[in-house]
Amino acid sequence: MKNDSIKPKVLLVDDVPENIQILMETLKDDYAIIAATNGEKALQLASGDNMPDIILLDIMMPEMDGYEVCQRLKKDEKTRNIPVIFVTAMQEVEDETKGLELGAVDYITKPISPSIVRARVKNHLELEFTRKTLEEQNQELREAARLREDVEKITRHDLKSPLNMIIGAPQAIKTFGEINERQKKYLGYIEETGYRMLDMINRSLDLFKMEQGLYECKFEQVDITNTLKKIVTETQSLCAMNDVKINVFVNGKPSTEEDTFFITGETLLVFPMLENLIKNAIEASPEGAHVGVFLDEDDSLRIRIQNRGAVPEDIRDKFFDKYVTSEKEKGTGIGTYSAKLIAETMNGNISMESSEKKGTAITLVFPKDQQALGESDMRKILVVDDEAQNHELLKDFLEIRDYEVITANGGKEALEKIKEKPALVLLDVMMPDMNGLQVLEKIKEIAPSMEVIMVTSMADEDIALSSLKKGACDYITKPIDLNHLENVIDLKMLQMSTEE
């Protein structure tokens, strides 16, 4: 006989002591038994310090019937997950249905069969143990995912901080003078390497945003032929090592210097996407083979990358999954996964076909009717203020510095002007129709990544903190120090161009 301290605990609830005795005799060898002869006592025992693992509950009881007991158990956060089995003389289908609808896991009719009772109790305890185990595992997975995200965010932040010195120090040293050309050259190498590291960190952050569905693509017209020329140049040594050549075709004809092929996407995304796919094609090609890149336009824009190698059968069905790789010692399985993320972020799709006979073809398809934001948007600033003189002052000041300025006289007009996609918003706090904090909230709903600088005559720390919590990137008080404003805007524009 098992020690009662390690036996699963069963709560028996019935207003007839003889019925409790029968159930107790049936279950006592394998379970620790506690009992109640009314609903109130059952609820006390179920929620007490020594909670049961399962409850066998009679329906017909005075004062509080089994249905009400079950309903109250399921409403209580502490007891809602305890399995309840109704044990009753009521045999109508409607009675059983009602019990199950209230949350019971099973229904046993009287007179009981001891073997059935033991089997039902055993099965439901095992099911509950499995549910708890899965819930614990899911919680561990959720915590691990949160930890990974936190570590990744912290790592990116911590890596960026020392890059400020790596990138900034060479620039400062060059201005000191008294350095020779060789020193300048190596300072240039340091600066260039710093920017490359920064780009790698930002690309990693971009992929994270894409996975979360938070990345906002900055659409522009991208000439794929120019992108391919850069990739061909950068992959020359890889091609030579594998004895492979790259051939580009535009609408069925070999590409010439005059050819162009535009898609609407983001240059900083298109390049790594195609570079990853083409490098994979080179490495997978037999020696002496050619990699073909075919650019075709019909009702959509298609980029097809073809090589004579075949994708191993064991990964064909999961070719674009994360961390999937085969027969590559240094492969991370991120290249094709990131290509898929990027394609979908730019509203395209990607597919792969592979066989031993035909080799491998990866096809990217993009729509023709996407709207590009245009390069000028990175120089566009929206000034929101209900005072015309402030409009005039800021407009003149910013336009001299080559910014394009649009204005709005209040919050409602500002939300309309947001459709023109400014890169930055200077937003007054005190306005008659909507205050600046209300407008800020609406802007963040419409365009979460849009940068907003609050401008106000109130040097109020609470308003400043509230603005920053709601998503503003900075806070400037009136009267505006124009030199300070210029520094804030220039720094923010530099950050945006580096990050995106």
Residue 119 lies in a domain: no
Q: What's the CATH number where 323 sits?
A: 3.30.565.10
CA angle 208, 213, 216 (to 5 degrees): 90
User: 59 in a domain, yes or no?
Assistant: yes
Identify which of 39, 43, 23 has the alpha carbon closest to the alpha carbon of residue 31.
Answer: 23
Same structural domain, 348 and 249: yes
Burial 176-208 (b: 16+ CB within 10 A, else e): eeeeeeeeeeebeeebeebeebbeebbebbbbe
Residue 124 lies in a domain: no
Whether 217 contacts 269, CB under 8 Å: yes
Judge residue 65's burial from the number of C-beta atoms within 10 Å of its C-beta, 0-12 exposed, 13-18 middle, 19 or more buried. middle
The answer to whether the CB of 383 falls within 8 A of the CB of 389 is: no
How far apart are alpha carbons 104 and 100 in whole angstroms?
5
DSSP per-residue letters across 38-94: SHHHHHHHHTSSS--SEEEE-S--SSS-HHHHHHHHHHSTTTTTS-EEEEES---HH
pTM comes to 0.44
Prior bond to 111 cis, omega within 30? yes
Q: What CATH number did the domain enclosing 100 receive?
A: 3.40.50.2300
Same domain for 380 and 351: no
Residue 180 maps to a domain: yes
pLDDT in tens, the chain (500 residues): 455 567 899 999 999 999 999 999 999 999 999 999 999 999 999 998 889 999 999 999 988 999 999 999 999 989 999 999 999 888 777 877 888 888 888 988 888 889 989 999 999 999 888 888 888 888 877 776 666 666 666 555 566 667 767 777 787 787 777 788 888 888 888 877 776 676 667 667 677 778 777 777 778 888 999 889 989 988 999 999 999 999 999 999 999 988 999 998 887 788 889 988 999 999 999 999 999 999 999 888 999 999 999 998 888 888 888 877 765 544 456 778 889 999 998 989 999 999 999 999 999 999 886 654 334 367 889 999 888 888 888 888 888 888 889 999 988 898 888 878 888 999 988 888 788 888 998 888 777 778 899 888 765 667 777 888 888 888 888 778 787 788 788 777 777 765 55
Within-domain flag for 467: yes
Overall number of domains in the chain: 4
Q: What is the pLDDT at residue 154?
A: 59
Cis amide linkage into residue 479, ω under 30° from 0? yes
Contact indicator for 436, 386 with CB cutoff of 8 Å:
no
Domain match, 329 and 431 both: no
pLDDT of residue 36: 94
Longest pairwise C-alpha distance within the chain:
103
Q: Which single residue is written with the structure tokens 């590559």?
A: 328
**The pair of three-digit structure tokens given for residue 471, joined into one six-digit string:** 């998503």
Same domain flag for 361 and 229: yes
Do 167 and 107 fall into the same domain? no
What does the pLDDT read at residue 1?
A: 47
The Cα angle at residue 346 between residues 422 and 489, in degrees rounded to 5:
25
Could you tell me if 329 and 445 lie in one domain? no
Distance of CA 364 to the CA centre of its chain: 23
Residues 359 and 229 in one domain: yes
Residues 229 and 350 in one domain: yes
Query: Is 404 inside a domain boundary?
Result: yes
Establish if 233 belongs to a structural domain: yes
- What integer pLDDT is reported at residue 374 of this predicted model? 38
Residues 356 and 275 in one domain: yes
C-alpha distance from residue 31 to each of 6, 26, 38, 78 (Å): 9, 10, 21, 22
Please check whether residues 240 and 314 belong to one and the same domain.
Answer: yes
User: What does the pLDDT read at residue 351?
Assistant: 95
Q: In 260-315, which ranges are continuous DSSP H helix?
A: 267-284
Residues 106 and 13 placed together within one structural domain of the fold: yes
Q: What's the rounded Cα separation, in Å, for the pair 361 and 310?
A: 9
Of 212, 234, 250, the domain-final residue: 212
Domain stop point among 212, 242, 258: 212
Structural tokens at position 463: 């308003």
**Residue span of the structural domain in which 196 resides:** 151-212
395 inside domain: yes
